[in-house]
Structure 1
Amino acid sequence: MSLNERQRKLLAMLANTGEVKVAALKETFGVTEMTIRRDLEKLELAGYVKRTFGGAIMASKDVAIGDRTGVRTEEKQAIGKAAAALVQENDAIFIDGGTTTLYVARYLRADMNLTVVTNALNIAMELLEKRITTVVTGGMALEATSTLVGPGTIEAIGKMAFDRVFLGATGLTAKHGFSNSNMYEAEIKRLAIAQATEANIVIDHTKYGAKELFSYAGIADVQRIISSERPEEALEQACRESGTELLIAHKDV
């Protein structure tokens, strides 16, 4: 699919920032909002981007974790800090792989009496440095995400019971709930929720309105969403109707 000069520039901006907004693009390029929306629709059809409420983000498709680590760092730090504050002494928790969940592990206090289960190798290393009791599931390693997946992982998690789980998501919509681009990781998330007393989803605001192929939970299936901004009214209303808490983490100033 051929792109015009404006669309190529728009894609370059997205690659640099990770997110664009229609209102800002309209001013930048001096065109109508409808023109920008058509550009984004074309880029989405080509597989380059995922449209969100009011803008677009780069299409995820198992983007290597190293390529995502530096994107929206302040937001993810705030989300991780707010999530870690929910953990209590003697908890048994599960943290799955992802750049936002990594900050949950990073903000856990080293002096807490915890047991943390994870299928993410980078998160396990973070916890070991804090001398937190850490259980790493078995499974097949995915290079892009540093996670362990497959039958071994499923078997291990299925034999455990968690006080709380902290999971990432690639997208969230009122209709499809939480979704992920990798079917193996979606299966793990689904099982972790089933094994938990309390399920927490940690997502930055760009995941609102995005949808991937593999849905792993509806909004009502989790107790809390921890994010950096409030979603659009329709999605927030869906959270209220489902009885799901929306915890907004504010960046440090």
Structure 2
Amino acid sequence: MRLGDSGTKPLLGVIEDSDTIFLDSGSTTHPLAKYIKMRQQITVVTNSLLVVNELVDSEVDVLLIGGKLRHSEKSITAYDMLFQFDALNIQKAFICTSGISLENGLSDYDIDEIRTRRQIMKNSKQTYVLCDHSKFEQDVTIKTCDLQELEAIITDAGVDEEVRKRFSEAGHRMIIA
């Protein structure tokens, strides 16, 4: 998913100045970091080295969670003993996924990434998933969460109209970015 100038407009009401947010690892969350640089007094908690690199020369406060480097995703998978998740007050978490379906919710391949996401979701007031259209109607190895745990699904315009309709009829909010 590409979040360009026009694609960020739907997110103007989602991310507010002074928010503390979590940006997950993945190709869909990295472009969001570029948008966040335009906001004021944002604190970003992340496990993504790409997000850190994007924000390193900005005014954004960045908290990088500690843990094991996952080379394939350029991310850190967290361990409770290294990071005190319970101390975090996150307003909004932006997570990614490898699969999303009405029947099984979100799913992914790596258990350590999923554990990190679940812990962050537990400490967040709202959770959004960012995923491109190719992730829909896919169920991969390990379930991350049910769709009812999400505030909204943020995706690109490539999502099939029939898929949008079914998700909407099931009560799931979709933001096209």
TM bracket, shorter-chain basis = 0.7 to 0.9
Kindly report which structure 2 residues correspond to 1:204-215, keeping only aligned pairs within 5 A, or say none: 204-215=132-143
Report 1 or 2 for greater relative contact order, CA contacts < 8 Å, sequence distance ≥ 6. Answer: 2
Kindly report which structure 2 residues correspond to 1:87-236, keeping only aligned pairs within 5 A, or say none: 87-110=15-38, 112-152=40-80, 155-229=83-157, 230-231=159-160, 233=162, 236=165
Q: Secondary structure of the equivalent of 1:149?
A: strand
- TM-score scaled by length of structure 1: 0.62
Measured in 2, the distance between the counterparts of 1:134 and 1:155 equals 14
Structure 1 residues 162 and 238: alpha-carbon distance in aligned structure 2, compared to 1, 3 A threshold = same
Aligned to 1:77: 3
- TM-score scaled by length of structure 2: 0.87
User: Is the Cα–Cα contact under 8 Å of residues 164 and 200 in structure 1 kept in the other structure?
Assistant: yes
User: Is the Cα–Cα contact under 8 Å of residues 95 and 118 in structure 1 kept in the other structure?
Assistant: yes
User: Is the Cα–Cα contact under 8 Å of residues 154 and 191 in structure 1 kept in the other structure?
Assistant: no
Measured in 1, the distance between the counterparts of 2:77 and 2:95 equals 14
1:237 to 166, 171, 174: 166
The structural deviation recorded for 1:197 is: 1.1
Give structure 1 stretches of 5+ with no counterpart: 1-74
Q: Secondary structure of the equivalent of 1:100?
A: coil
Greater share of helix: 1
User: Is the Cα–Cα contact under 8 Å of residues 117 and 137 in structure 1 kept in the other structure?
Assistant: yes
User: Is the Cα–Cα contact under 8 Å of residues 164 and 174 in structure 2 kept in the other structure?
Assistant: no
Measured in 2, the distance between the counterparts of 1:142 and 1:83 equals 31
The structural deviation recorded for 1:198 is: 1.2
Measured in 1, the distance between the counterparts of 2:28 and 2:9 equals 11
Aligned-residue RMSD, C-alpha: 2.3
User: Is the Cα–Cα contact under 8 Å of residues 225 and 246 in structure 1 kept in the other structure?
Assistant: yes
User: Is the Cα–Cα contact under 8 Å of residues 17 and 39 in structure 2 kept in the other structure?
Assistant: no
The structural deviation recorded for 1:77 is: 2.4
Measured in 2, the distance between the counterparts of 1:232 and 1:130 equals 38
Larger Rg: 1
Paired residue type of 2:162: E
Measured in 1, the distance between the counterparts of 2:28 and 2:115 equals 19
Structure 1 residues 96 and 200: alpha-carbon distance in aligned structure 2, compared to 1, 3 A threshold = same
